[in-house]
Chains A and B, each alone.
Chain A
């Protein structure tokens, strides 16, 4: 079954929505929250999850072609927006999966309210800061440095750098970058209050990290492991900041195994 693109509406906000379910609606719903780079296109990772689940990816407000309401000013606003989305999905309890910025949003939402959640999967999430473990500065990196630093396997970086974005894609990249700065510039990629509320995450959780993550170091994974109550931590060797892209198979298998009995 092909990916269905549509417009999702919660309250007065219209966002782009992508959905796939190869399992004829039998599997529970996975809601994926993308990172600061924006909606990454429909990934093989999503296909793998869609073999067992109904996979829904929304493009965050302010990103790509989604609406950008003025009142969204920080990650907490986006998290509250997603709690409204979850309440309106009528999909029962949802498996929330977030990458990087999306992981931060997911964690903020889960510390507030787990009522509509079945589980939480965080892939290299932003949101906390571990003192003494320096993170990369994606806002000062050149496009070349960004590509090189996001991946362990430089073949991925080469492919990324070889792409010539169209005018429309350039505009979307800019919008994504603007929104990423609005949400993550200061304090850089974290909310000082989040760490002290992580004990409120009341659903089984999985944290996945690429061992060679140059943006958010994999040493962060252990801290998430200590703070989130019912959590499994998996660090993937030879992998950068985008495990669901660079090690899609391993990452999808880990997520599917985690969701398996739930």
Chain B
């Protein structure tokens, strides 16, 4: 199994009373609540944590992109990746991912990734995402064209990386007389592409297609759903006539480990509950703008929501452990929790989130250390 140390870089000094007066920590949260002096310290701490992950033996360190939110301070994740390249030697660096449909010229994404791949001499992994629904409120981009733009931007970026330039690109949303990337990527034919997703069947079928075989990472879901989605990928691969490799299957999950279950739960509680209730939660108008999901997927989601009762229930550390959405406990508990999903799916990529919500530096770093010494070695092979 391969281990990724993933960071959202949440803005922890958030005034939670003020936050709870707003409908979301995204898009509408007044940015007067952001203090740049405190924010600058957050960046420092978080970059230090990711650099530390290399020393601890993680295979990959990873960042991601979100806009206009206290949930994550990386509207431009490539800037952080660039800083990480300068401070690390061996570890791979994953941007999980860039939100392709949100930009008006995807060639800039191809260019920046190519630069990072050169700067790191081939240590880059590229995640391709659509952004979550709120991103379409933040950018004003039409969610009805999100899927189309994603596919087309992907095709353009891969062509820019692999086809001899200059060439012409003729699309629906993107049209260029000259595509001719300088620099080209360091890795041949191009850096690995990973697909983080909440598990829509359309995305799974697209990622598993034999021309792509992109690793698919299920993010922030109950463990039963993670198992179901990863096995959907396996089934899909079989329908395409091949057997999926475990390296194509990944799981992104918040993890907290301490010497006992009780202690882990106590120390993780404030962080994990703030992540799900204060940073992540959104009204469905913001999370699922019309067109972001296909109509059938949307109708299924609405039905599920109806059966769960209206309004999002507050999540607790117990409910998150119970559903397997977060893995929290002693080294044995955490090992067993991961092994259970691994055995049910054959997954070989674990994207760990070891700092989450308001979890402070000292606990986050100790969490990383214990995970690296007490969990990682047992699950490596």
Give the interface of A toward B (CB within 8 A): 139-142, 170-171, 174-175, 177-178, 180-182, 185-188
Contact = CB atoms under 8 A, between A and B. Distances in A.
B299 A177 contact: no
A181 B290 contact: yes
Nearest to B140: A186
A142 B283 contact: yes
Of residues A140, A141, A142, A187, which shows the largest number of chain B Cβ atoms within 10 Å of its Cβ?
A140
Given A185-B291, A188-B140, 16 more contacts: A139-B290, A140-B28, A140-B137, A140-B286, A142-B283, A170-B299, A170-B302, A174-B290, A175-B295, A181-B289, A181-B291, A182-B145, A185-B143, A185-B289, A186-B140, A186-B141
B141 A139 contact: no
B323 interface: no
A139 B299 contact: no
B144 A182 contact: yes
Interface string B332-370: 000000000000000000000000000000000000000
Contacts of A142: 283, 285
Interface size class of B (residues with CB under 8 A): 20 to 34
B270 interface: no
Contacts of A174: 290, 295, 298-299, 302
B45 interface: no
B142 interface: yes
Interface string B290-316: 110001001100100000000000000
13 contacts: A139-B289, A140-B137, A170-B299, A171-B299, A174-B290, A174-B295, A175-B295, A178-B290, A180-B290, A181-B289, A181-B290, A185-B140, A188-B140
A8 to B, nearest CB: 23
Nearest to A184: B142
Contacts of A171: 299
Contacts of A181: 142-144, 289-291
Interface of B: 27-28, 136-137, 140-145, 283, 285-286, 289-291, 295, 298-299, 302
B340 to A, nearest CB: 37
Contacts of A185: 136, 140, 142-144, 289, 291
A80 B202 CA distance: 32
Contacts, number: 51
A178 B144 CA distance: 7
A261 B246 CA distance: 76
A136 B298 CA distance: 24
B295 A141 contact: no
B144 A140 contact: no
Contacts of A187: 140
B270 to A, nearest CB: 29
Contacts of B145: 182
A170 B298 CA distance: 11
A177 B141 CA distance: 16
Contacts of B291: 178, 181-182, 185
B284 to A, nearest CB: 9
Contacts of A140: 27-28, 137, 285-286
Nearest to A187: B140
A174 B299 CA distance: 8
Contacts of B136: 185
Nearest to B141: A186
B103 to A, nearest CB: 14
A139 B142 contact: no
List of 7 A-B pairs having minimum Cβ-Cβ separation, nearest first: A182-B144, A181-B290, A185-B142, A186-B142, A177-B290, A178-B290, A181-B144
Contacts of B142: 181-182, 185-186
Contacts of A177: 290
A206 to B, nearest CB: 31
A175 B142 CA distance: 16
A165 B247 CA distance: 45
Contacts of B141: 186
Nearest to A177: B290
Contacts of A175: 295
Contacts of B27: 140
A41 B302 CA distance: 24
A139 B134 CA distance: 11
A59 B141 CA distance: 26
Nearest to A171: B299
A97 B142 CA distance: 27
Contact of B137 (A139, A178, A180, A182): A139
Contacts of A139: 137, 285, 289-290
Nearest to A137: B137
Contacts of B299: 170-171, 174
A251 to B, nearest CB: 28
B288 to A, nearest CB: 10
Contacts of A180: 290
A197 to B, nearest CB: 23
Contacts of A188: 140
A144 to B, nearest CB: 11
B183 to A, nearest CB: 33
A140 B24 CA distance: 11
Contacts of A170: 299, 302
Nearest to A183: B144
A174 B303 CA distance: 12
Contacts of A182: 142, 144-145, 290-291
A140 B143 CA distance: 13
B295 A178 contact: yes
Of residues B140, B142, B295, which shows the largest number of chain A Cβ atoms within 10 Å of its Cβ?
B142
A72 B68 CA distance: 32
A253 B137 CA distance: 40
Nearest to A175: B295
Contacts of A178: 144, 290-291, 295, 298
Nearest to A186: B142
